[in-house]
């Protein structure tokens, strides 16, 4: 009888998968082989060569095609009688609204980013459809069940903010290789090849008035009568030589720091070698797209010496200006752009040499710059199986058997799969629980409505199509059906300071913010505040009452490699040079034996800390939840496992 109910629950279910990548391929295969008959898939991505080592439904001939559509075709070849409906689209598109989600019995996530997970979470809550959330990174993985009113939603616990460094650290006093990567990627690459109108200050901060000289203003401009060798040497000497000498003129800065050394081309390459650099036929496709190929460098895992880094830097610069000149002015760093990765690697290594920081290989530098964590196909397969197990429990309404399951790299209590009972909803969660107003401290006479929309409504509250009201006055709205005069009115409002809006927003006022697609609403109480600490409060506003990020732990060690772990990873974004720069902090993935092991909630492509638990596995443990890392739910092992596994207490 139980088997019959099991079979009927599966065959009669209508399932939505979001994501057809590493987890998604395994999940679709497992769903089909488990007897599911009606499966829908949403994925906006196309297949890349780098996917083929683990996304087994795809082949070389599929590169460039829709993941959702190719995955469907591949599975129908061995399960031709089931229905699979693919959507090559963004899950945040307006047609995937609450009504769309209501048609499904369960939603299964195989996503790789916070924003999309947050969006799907809210749609599932509004539609009252159970969600099975998942993620992997390396050998670690996690599956959780989220049912409205019964378990935590995705946003019940805080998601740490990106690691930030003051711009002066990046431009003046780097101490880690990641600082050099950010400098090369967000400042130098953007200055040379990106939007010329974007604010970008590559000058090391100094009390020397000479920092604003004409030399500084003109050095990055390539003159029509200038050959590439001279231009390359001029750029090199300015950023690695002149700027370092300028920094050294501020003696106060270096009283307690190791002084950097200026590096000039003449100190590294003889004139003859500079002229011969990359002396190959640039009509060759490979050599014209790669400085490494042009110079005969083959192994991306080699660590280049200073001379090799200098040659790659100059050659990459020349190739950009000779073969990709039309793109200059519109380029942004892309981890899949080989020439961009080579340039950033070489520039970061030269800067690292100047500041006595160990160099890294191109393979390692690409991992840091592109926020890459190398996936393991076996982990994806295990997690996909766990997703299906939880989905079947949901369909059978077997609420008491729901489990959050963690896939471990090393056994604990002789287990590699660690199940935990789900936690109840967080009563203070502003998304899934009874909502109390949020509180926003802001200078209402200085901050514009645009600042509020970008920094609070979109960045912190995760709304995509917001509607903002002050009392009965509509201040801002987004939608395809708006008339032109309304669009012009809302656009004009964006540029007004809050206190000068048609319905003034001042201290004591309440704003209502709503996302119609997510069917999500929250109220924000405004508190006027004059001044903010630029270092600690760079946004110039402070939101309270939401699940804020926990403080991150400091870790000065860095390591990246195949299967290496990383920590605190949120996407980096180019920042104005006057603001803090957001970067990912990279850890070496190890901890002393006495430390507690933490198991985060992972996403394929996200990063985490892995700890050595050699001592822990010899003791009885109890699992208890802790939230401390990148948009992840963590576990720590506590003593007395088995004495009372049904009682779990939140760590504050």
Q: Is 416 annotated as a binding residue?
A: no
Sign of CA dihedral 103, 105, 108, 114: positive
Q: Is 306 annotated as a binding residue?
A: no
Q: Is 619 annotated as a binding residue?
A: no
The residue ranges of DSSP E strands in 114-185, in sequence order, are: 131-137, 140-146, 163-165
| SS3 assignment for 469-519 | EECCEEEEECCCCCCHHHHHHHHHHHCCEHHHCCCCCCCCCEEEEEECCCC
Q: Is 24 annotated as a binding residue?
A: yes
Q: Is 117 annotated as a binding residue?
A: yes
The pair of three-digit structure tokens given for residue 144, joined into one six-digit string: 């959780």
Sign of CA dihedral 558, 561, 564, 570: positive
What distance in Å separates the CA atoms of residue 621 and residue 75, rounded to the nearest whole number? 42
Question: Which residues are CB-contacts of 427 (< 8 A; sequence separation ≥ 6)?
Answer: 433, 434
Q: Is 417 annotated as a binding residue?
A: no
Give phi and psi for 584, each to the nearest 5. Answer: -95, 140
Question: Closest by alpha carbon to 215, among 187, 240, 243, 196?
Answer: 243
Q: Is 27 annotated as a binding residue?
A: no
545, 437 Cβ separation under 8 angstroms: yes
Q: Is 51 annotated as a binding residue?
A: yes
Q: Is 122 annotated as a binding residue?
A: no
Active site residue 124: no
- For residue 379, what is the enclosing H or E element? helix 377-395
Q: Is 506 annotated as a binding residue?
A: no
Q: Is 241 annotated as a binding residue?
A: no
Q: Is 77 annotated as a binding residue?
A: no
Q: Tokens 């390591």, residue? A: 559
Question: Closest by alpha carbon to 263, among 179, 353, 358, 178?
Answer: 353
| SS3 assignment for 512-524 | EEEECCCCEEEEE
106-109 and 163-165: which strand pairing?
Answer: unpaired
311, 295 Cβ separation under 8 angstroms: yes
Q: Is 156 annotated as a binding residue?
A: yes
Q: Is 180 annotated as a binding residue?
A: no
What distance in Å separates the CA atoms of residue 146 and residue 317, rounded to the nearest whole number? 50
Q: Is 64 annotated as a binding residue?
A: no
What distance in Å separates the CA atoms of residue 353 and residue 340, rounded to the nearest whole number? 20
Q: Is 68 annotated as a binding residue?
A: no
Q: Is 54 annotated as a binding residue?
A: yes
Question: Closest by alpha carbon to 190, among 170, 164, 210?
Answer: 170
Q: CA of 304: how far to CAs of 3, 118, 127, 156, 358, in Å?
A: 61, 41, 55, 46, 11
Q: Is 203 annotated as a binding residue?
A: no
Q: Is 19 annotated as a binding residue?
A: yes
206 alpha carbon, distance to own chain's centre: 33
What distance in Å separates the CA atoms of residue 4 and residue 632, rounded to the nearest whole number? 37
Q: Which of 168, 180, 470, 606 is catalytic?
A: 168
Q: Is 141 annotated as a binding residue?
A: no
Q: Is 20 annotated as a binding residue?
A: yes
Q: Is 407 annotated as a binding residue?
A: no
Binding residues for ATP: 19-24, 43, 51-54, 67, 112-117
Binding residues: 19-24, 43, 51-54, 67, 112-117, 153, 156, 429, 432
Active site residues: 168
Binding residues for Zn(2+): 153, 156, 429, 432
């Amino acid at each position: 009888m139980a088997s019959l109910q099991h079979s009927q629950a599966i065959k009669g279910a209508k399932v939505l998968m979001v994501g057809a990548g590493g987890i998604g391929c395994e999940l679709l295969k497992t769903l089909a082989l488990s007897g599911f008959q009606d499966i829908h898939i949403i994925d906006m991505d196309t297949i890349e060569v780098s996917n083929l080592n683990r996304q087994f439904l795809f082949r070389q001939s599929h590169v460039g095609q829709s993941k959702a559509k190719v995955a469907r075709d591949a599975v129908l070849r061995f399960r031709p009688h089931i229905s699979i409906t693919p959507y090559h689209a963004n899950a945040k598109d307006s047609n995937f609204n609450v009504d769309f989600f209501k048609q499904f019995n369960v939603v299964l996530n195989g996503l790789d980013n916070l924003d999309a997970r947050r969006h799907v979470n809210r749609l599932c809550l509004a539609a009252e459809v159970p969600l099975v959330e998942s993620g992997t990174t390396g050998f670690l993985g996690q599956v959780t069940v989220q049912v409205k009113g019964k378990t935590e939603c995705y946003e019940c616990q805080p998601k740490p903010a990106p690691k930030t460094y003051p711009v002066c650290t990046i431009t003046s006093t780097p101490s880690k290789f990641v600082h050099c990567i950010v400098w090369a990627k967000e400042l130098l690459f953007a200055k040379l090849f990106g939007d010329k109108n974007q604010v970008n200050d590559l000058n090391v901060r100094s009390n020397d008035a000479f920092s604003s000289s004409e030399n500084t203003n003109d050095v990055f401009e390539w003159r029509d009568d200038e050959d590439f060798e001279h231009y390359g040497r001029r750029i090199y000497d300015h950023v690695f030589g002149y700027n370092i000498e300028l920094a050294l003129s501020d003696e106060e800065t270096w009283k307690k720091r190791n002084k950097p050394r200026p590096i000039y081309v003449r100190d590294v390459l003889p004139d003859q070698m500079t002229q011969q650099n990359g002396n190959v036929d640039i009509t060759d496709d490979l050599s014209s797209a790669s400085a490494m190929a042009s110079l005969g460098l083959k192994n991306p895992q080699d660590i280049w010496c200073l001379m090799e880094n200098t040659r790659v830097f100059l050659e990459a610069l020349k190739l950009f200006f000779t073969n990709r000149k039309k793109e200059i002015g519109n380029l942004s760093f892309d981890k899949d752009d080989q020439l961009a990765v080579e340039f950033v690697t070489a520039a970061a290594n030269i800067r690292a040499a100047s500041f006595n920081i160990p160099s890294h290989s191109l393979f390692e530098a690409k991992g840091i710059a592109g926020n890459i964590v190398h996936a393991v196909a076996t982990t994806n397969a295990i997690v996909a199986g766990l997703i299906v197990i939880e989905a079947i429990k949901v369909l059978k309404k077997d609420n008491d058997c729901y489990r959050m399951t963690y896939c471990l790299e090393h056994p604990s209590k002789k287990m590699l799969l660690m199940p935990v009972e789900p936690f109840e909803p967080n009563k203070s969660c502003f998304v899934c629980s009874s909502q109390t107003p949020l509180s926003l401290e802001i200078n209402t006479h200085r901050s514009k409505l645009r600042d509020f929309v970008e920094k609070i409504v979109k960045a912190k509250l995760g709304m995509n199509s917001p509607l903002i009201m002050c009392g009965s006055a509509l201040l801002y709205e987004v939608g395809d059906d708006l008339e032109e005069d309304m669009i012009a009115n809302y656009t004009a409002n964006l540029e007004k300071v809050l206190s000068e809006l048609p319905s003034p927003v001042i201290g004591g006022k309440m704003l209502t913010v709503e996302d119609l697609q997510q069917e999500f609403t929250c109220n924000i109480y405004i508190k006027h505040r004059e001044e903010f600490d630029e270092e600690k409060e760079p946004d110039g506003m402070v939101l309270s009452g939401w699940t804020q990020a926990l403080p991150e732990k400091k870790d000065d060690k860095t390591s990246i490699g195949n299967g290496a772990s990383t920590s605190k990873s949120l996407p980096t974004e180019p920042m104005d040079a006057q603001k803090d720069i957001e970067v990912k902090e990279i850890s070496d993935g190890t901890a002393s034996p006495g430390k507690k092991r933490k198991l985060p909630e992972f996403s394929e492509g996200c990063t985490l800390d892995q700890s050595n638990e050699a001592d822990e596995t010899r003791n009885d443990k109890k699992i208890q939840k802790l939230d401390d890392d990148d948009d992840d739910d963590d576990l720590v092992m506590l003593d007395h496992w088995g004495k009372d596994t049904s009682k779990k207490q939140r760590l504050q």
